[in-house]
Amino acid sequence: MYQTLLSNLENGIYTITINRPDKLNALNKNVFTDLNAAIDEIESNNEIRSVIITGSGTKAFVAGADISEFNALNKDEAKALAKRGQDTFARIENCSKPIVAAVNGFALGGGCELAMACHFRIASENAKFGQPEVNLGLIPGYGGTQRLVQLIGKGKAMELLISAHMIDAKEAKELGLVNYVTTTETLIEHTKQILSVINSKAPLAIASCIKAANAVFDESKNGFTLEIEEFGNCFDTADMKEGTTAFIEKRKAVFTGK
């Protein structure tokens, strides 16, 4: 189905593993093609309730965009490459189903940007985060300058962007870049436990939360107005009737996503 990704659907959780371990899972053109196909699958397959993105092997989540594709690019080609990366990561960020990055090693450059485009991040204790582009005479092109500031604040983000300094999982947690740090062995299991709780909630309400929270960072939208809109929409759903009825009847709600 994919050239560069492994995929597995179990209990509603779709696990996507970027699978170029000999290149530390660097993001080349094929990975972007596959990620776009995977997002199509996630949006259209009703059996998929939530998603994990991780990297193959124990060393890297993703060590960046594939630097070997950069050398021959001219300015316009470079801009087109950045645009494609940004558009792909925006599709992840705006996906109606929760997408969590399980960061199992280096998350550098485009890898850090990919993790930041996910709805939240869980890291194993050997994870390392950074935007080392200035080492290459470059800057992040897949949204990194924006999302790093959004997630950890301007002062620290600026330092990381202009120094290429790498941080470990513990510091990433202190900065709010990751929600939890696990051992290498328990990373996927821990992520699945969190997603299995999320999967028991009302899918349309989850989609509305994602939309409304993302509106904070979208200048074309008024988040408070959008929140009212989405709140109202919930009242048209069978799941809202089920959730409120189940509460009153003191039983567990069974949501259908309708």
Tell me the site size for ligand COA, rule CB under 6 A: 18
C-beta of 70 vs 201, nearer to ligand COA: 70
Q: Does 68 bind ligand COA (CB under 6 A)?
A: yes
Q: Which two tokens stand for residue 16?
A: 């996507």
**From 5-13, 82-90, 134-142, 168-176, span contacting ligand COA (CB under 6 A):** 134-142
Output the smallest distance, CB 80 to ligand COA, in A.
Answer: 16
Q: Does 23 bind ligand COA (CB under 6 A)?
A: yes
Active-site residue 93, yes or no?
no
Residue in 63, 95, 151, 240 binding ligand COA, rule: CB under 6 A:
63
Q: Does 65 bind ligand COA (CB under 6 A)?
A: yes
Q: Does 66 bind ligand COA (CB under 6 A)?
A: yes
Residue in 37, 67, 90, 198 binding ligand COA, rule: CB under 6 A:
67
Q: Does 24 bind ligand COA (CB under 6 A)?
A: yes
What distance in Å separates the CA atoms of residue 223 and residue 212, rounded to the nearest whole number?
6
DSSP designation for 126: T
What distance in Å separates the CA atoms of residue 21 and residue 78, rounded to the nearest whole number?
25
C-beta of 75 vs 250, nearer to ligand COA: 75
C-beta of 23 vs 84, nearer to ligand COA: 23
What distance in Å separates the CA atoms of residue 201 and residue 198, rounded to the nearest whole number?
6
Site residues for ligand COA, 218-237, by CB under 6 A, read none
What distance in Å separates the CA atoms of residue 171 and residue 130, rounded to the nearest whole number?
11
Alpha-carbon Rg of the chain, whole angstroms? Answer: 19
Element (H, E) at 215: helix 203-215
Site residues for ligand COA, 152-211, by CB under 6 A, read none
Q: Does 18 bind ligand COA (CB under 6 A)?
A: no
Active-site residue 113, yes or no?
yes
Q: Which two tokens stand for residue 190?
A: 């821990």
Backbone region of residue 24 per phi and psi (left: phi > 0; alpha: psi in -120 to 50; beta: other values): left
Site residues for ligand COA, 98-117, by CB under 6 A, read 106, 108-110
Query: Using an 8 Å Cβ cutoff, are 43 and 80 in contact?
Result: no
For residues 70, 76, 79, 81, the Cα torsion angle rounded to the nearest 10 degrees is: -50
**From 33-41, 64-72, 145-153, 240-248, span contacting ligand COA (CB under 6 A):** 64-72
**From 21-29, 93-101, 209-217, 221-229, span contacting ligand COA (CB under 6 A):** 21-29
* Active-site entry in 10, 113, 242, 249: 113
Query: Using an 8 Å Cβ cutoff, are 122 and 191 in contact?
Result: yes
- Where does residue 9 rank: exposed (0-12), middle (13-18), buried (19+ CB within 10 A)? middle
- Where does residue 198 rank: exposed (0-12), middle (13-18), buried (19+ CB within 10 A)? middle
DSSP designation for 104: -
Residues designated catalytic: 113, 133
Contact positions vs ligand COA (CB under 6 A): 23-24, 26, 63-68, 106, 108-110, 132-133, 135-136, 138
